[in-house]
Amino acid sequence: MTTSSLMSRRTFMTVSAMGALAGPAVAEMAEGPQVQTRRGVKPVVVSSRNGNKSKDAAGLTCITKAFHLLTTGTDVLDAVIAGVNIIELDPNDDSVGYGGLPNADGVVQLDAAVMHGPSKRAGAVACLEGVRTPSLVAKKVMEETDHHLLVARDAQRFAHDMGFKIEHDLNTERSRRLWQEWKRRAGRSPFLKASNRSASWREARQAMVSEGLIDPEHLHGTVHCAAVNAKGEVAAVTSTSGLAWKVPGRVGDSPILGAGLYVDGEVGAAGSTGHGEASMMSLGAFLIVEMMRGGMAPKDAGMVAMKRVVASTVDKRLLNSRGTPNFNLRYYALNTKGDFAGLSLYESSENGKRTEFAVCTDDGPRFVSAEFLLPGMAGD
């Protein structure tokens, strides 16, 4: 981990102090969080790397806002959702929420899930159109229904009934332009046989990545954020626009409990970003929490999940020349003691840089190199 990859505590406090100019609420944050510790747990927020990129009007990223809120009395789930909303509303992040890369028909369909450790409740939405903040709709599913998951038009109708604004199109000029370019290059129906579709779509995607048109980490998109407060209470949220130019109606792992995320208030939380189908096949988030229940540290539990992904990936179209998965997958694990880990199937992301995740503690926000199972990159 290099010095340039970290945001120092001094920088964190400087951003907080500058935010004080925006109003009393931000000024209160600049004075420092007041934490009432009951169990000696050090609060921490863990997220995918994009959780420390997009900023709100006060200059706060997802993890810094979530950390401030949970250390000043806000419910742990409300804190992480408020952080994720920053990314969902950022038109420059084309992997989540507004401006997320659309499906093969050019329609932005969003998935999200939330889990609340203290109440042992959860909610999720899938294929939701027209609402920029699907994580908030997922929370309403948790609070207002007896169910865990609502989908498509009925999820949208529910959101409307809950008072959410429904927009005709969540594309930005950029996301629409990228879709049009992909469509021109792919030039085939999304309902071809898997072998033909895989070759056509992957070729078009990778060409656009190679030309710098798309962030390679945004092909599968997603933000995951989890936190534990000073009382040892845990919650998590995952939100995504899904695989870029996916088959319309495709649902990935993000809204699936046990795959995209899993929380047990007595144990901890885990979530994933990356290749959603692999995450669903292995139910890695659930597996990690169960391994932690048995006494494993977050890092070791995550490695168990990664090894299961490798063992269950046997389809030739999903293997590289080394016989290992030709995709990357990342897990984030956190227990109720405040121990955490970020893990990656491969050492490096598709851009060749060491895989990282984001963390915020009382030392401030920072990027941390993820533990990895396999050297190199998925495409090697």
φ, ψ of residue 308 to 5 degrees: the values are: -70, -40
* C-alpha span between 263 and 252 (Å, rounded): 18
For 225, the 3-state DSSP assignment is: strand
Query: Which of these is catalytic: 64, 71, 133, 222?
Result: 222
Inter-axis angle of helices 173-186 and 194-210, nearest 10: 130
Question: Which strands, in side-by-side order, build the sheet including 329-335?
Answer: 261-264, 268-274, 329-335, 340-346, 371-374
* C-alpha span between 14 and 10 (Å, rounded): 6
* C-alpha span between 209 and 204 (Å, rounded): 9
Q: How far is CA 359 from CA 43, 301, 318, 370, in A?
A: 11, 19, 31, 11
Judge whether 48 and 223 are in contact, CB under 8 Å: yes
Q: Provide the token pair at 228.
A: 């534990």
Q: How far is CA 157 from CA 126, 171, 266, 330, in A?
A: 13, 20, 35, 33
DSSP per residue, 271-314: EEEE-HHHHHHHTHHHHHHHHHHTT--HHHHHHHHHHHHHHH--
Asked about 222 being catalytic, the answer comes back as yes
Judge whether 24 and 18 are in contact, CB under 8 Å: no
Active site members: 222
